[in-house]
Chain A
Amino acid sequence: MKNDNLSVFTKGIIKENPVFVLVLGTCPTIATTTNLIGAFGMGISALLVLLCSNILISLLRKIIPDNVRIPCYIVIIAGFVTIVQMIVHAYFPELYEMLGVYLALITVNCIILGRAEMFASKNSVGKSALDGLGMGLGFTLALCAMAFIREVFGAASFAGVPIAFLENYKIEFLVKAPGGMLVYGLLIALVCVITHGKAPRKKQFSCEGCPSAEHCHSGICANTENKKEDK
């Protein structure tokens, strides 16, 4: 049983990493990773919202009627986002400025709604909390990894501290818009190489929860299709 709980927690960090494997929440991933502090702040904010909404939705899972569940989830999530927004605004005004509209947009981040739909609405409170924590940590780590690459090579600094010997070799392209997409694409390919394409298919556990599932041909779903054609 304990092992089971542990795997619920750890799967979000590596095996089902929301950013590189599930490919959820792409917008903040590219937008807030120009520097490490912003990425970390974004990750932690999303983690808090994910944890709280998972717990509350799991508690209410028997009360919320099935056919109005999505609006209910959105209201719960938006409520927690507002709380997090107020906390960040009060205690970290610089971070609030940096993240701007993306903080409010945690509301429509597919990771949170996806986990509510796929996990919290079917599992006990404890497990949902662990799932939220694991997924949130996975999201934070992925954001930090991307921000690390973009900040060190693009702006020659680490969490705001300049790195002297890279000063003359900045690749400024990386901190701009296209650089984000490029780094993200390369990292997804890297994760695919590391896991030998054995990472769980997106279709199996996240696409069902995603409202775009029917029309979506992206990501890992497309990947499996291509591989089938090869054989």
Chain B
Amino acid sequence: METFKTLIVILLSSVFVNNYVLARFLGICPFLGVSKKIDQATGMGVSVTVVMLLATAVTWPIQHFLLDPFGLGYMQTLVFILVIASLVQMVEILLKRFSPALHKGLGVYLPLITTNCAVLGVSINNITDGYNFVESVVSSLGCGLGFLLAMVLFSGIRSRIDESKVPVPFRGLAVTLIAASFISLSFMGFAGIVDALFA
């Protein structure tokens, strides 16, 4: 029961309190770039969630059974980015072969994810936070869902911005960032809620 509670706390806090985009600033580029339409935002969010889960499931054993026993901790960055890049490629090839429909929906977003700092960030953070395997997987699921939530919410706001009259210097990225700032402000309201719920 105690473990289950820990997992729920990790999940909820990574979705709401420590949301990767809005509180930890990882994956801002796709957040600003691909959030203009809701279907694109959902596609990107789902792909990121899947890749985060897979990446954590692969990098955690590598860190604990390969890098740590041989004292190769300093190779972490290099190994992780290579693993994630090849993993993304492999997922794309497999999807293309076995599920062309899914590949059509998500395939276009996959190559972009290699350079998404949220994926590398979540793999490294799971190691630094000292999570065990199950906790790491749950935490990366939470981060992925948080990313999806932020993307979908934000695409709704952006479609409203598109229809309103924005002063010329603020057009484009400036007003987008300011809108993102307000969402982030509202997410700050979640701080403390998760701890209080399970105290």
Q: Which residues of A contact B (CB under 8 A)?
A: 23, 26-28, 30-31, 71, 74-75, 78-79, 81-82, 85-86, 100-101, 104-105, 107-110, 113, 173, 176-182, 184-186, 188-190, 192-193, 197, 211-212, 214-223, 226-227
Contacts and interface: CB of A to CB of B under 8 A. Distances in A.
Contacts of B168: 192, 197, 227
Contacts of A113: 115
Nearest to B185: A178
B34 A212 contact: yes
Contacts of A104: 76-77, 120, 124
Nearest to B26: A27
A216 B173 contact: no
A120 to B, nearest CB: 17
A185 B172 contact: no
B39 to A, nearest CB: 11
Contacts, number: 160
A214 B33 contact: no
B81 A107 contact: yes
B173 A219 contact: yes
Given A27-B29, A178-B188, A211-B112, 14 more contacts: A28-B25, A71-B82, A82-B78, A101-B125, A104-B124, A110-B29, A177-B25, A182-B178, A185-B178, A192-B168, A192-B169, A218-B172, A219-B173, A223-B172
B33 A101 contact: no
A23 B26 CA distance: 15
Contact of B172 (A26, A78, A101, A226): A226
A155 B177 CA distance: 22
B171 A222 contact: yes
B24 interface: yes
Contacts of B171: 222-223, 226-227
Nearest to B40: A215
Contacts of A26: 25, 28-29, 32
B108 A78 contact: no
Contacts of A215: 33-34, 40, 44, 108-109, 112
Contacts of B11: none
Contacts of B182: 178
Given A81-B77, A211-B115, A27 B173 contact: no
Contacts of A105: 26, 117, 120-121, 124
Given A188-B173, A216-B33, A78 B81 contact: yes
Nearest to B118: A27
Please name the 10 residue pairs, one residue from A and one from B, whose CB atoms are nearest each other, closest first. A185-B177, A223-B172, A181-B181, A216-B33, A31-B25, A189-B174, A178-B184, A178-B185, A182-B181, A185-B178
B interface bracket (residues with beta carbon within 8 Å of A): 35 or more
Interface of B: 22-30, 32-34, 36, 40, 44, 74-78, 81-82, 85, 108-109, 111-112, 114-117, 120-121, 124-125, 128, 168-178, 180-182, 184-185, 188
A16 to B, nearest CB: 15
Nearest to B119: A108
A215 B26 CA distance: 19
Given A176-B188, A217-B33, A189 B169 contact: yes
Given A27-B117, A110-B29, A218 B176 contact: yes
Given A74-B85, A81-B77, A178-B184, A216 B177 contact: no
A71 B89 CA distance: 11
Nearest to B186: A178
Contact of B174 (A176, A177, A185): A185
Contacts of B75: 82
A107 B32 contact: no
A225 to B, nearest CB: 9
A42 to B, nearest CB: 12
Given A78-B77, A219-B32, A181 B178 contact: yes
Most buried by A among B25, B78, B114: B25
A222 B34 CA distance: 12
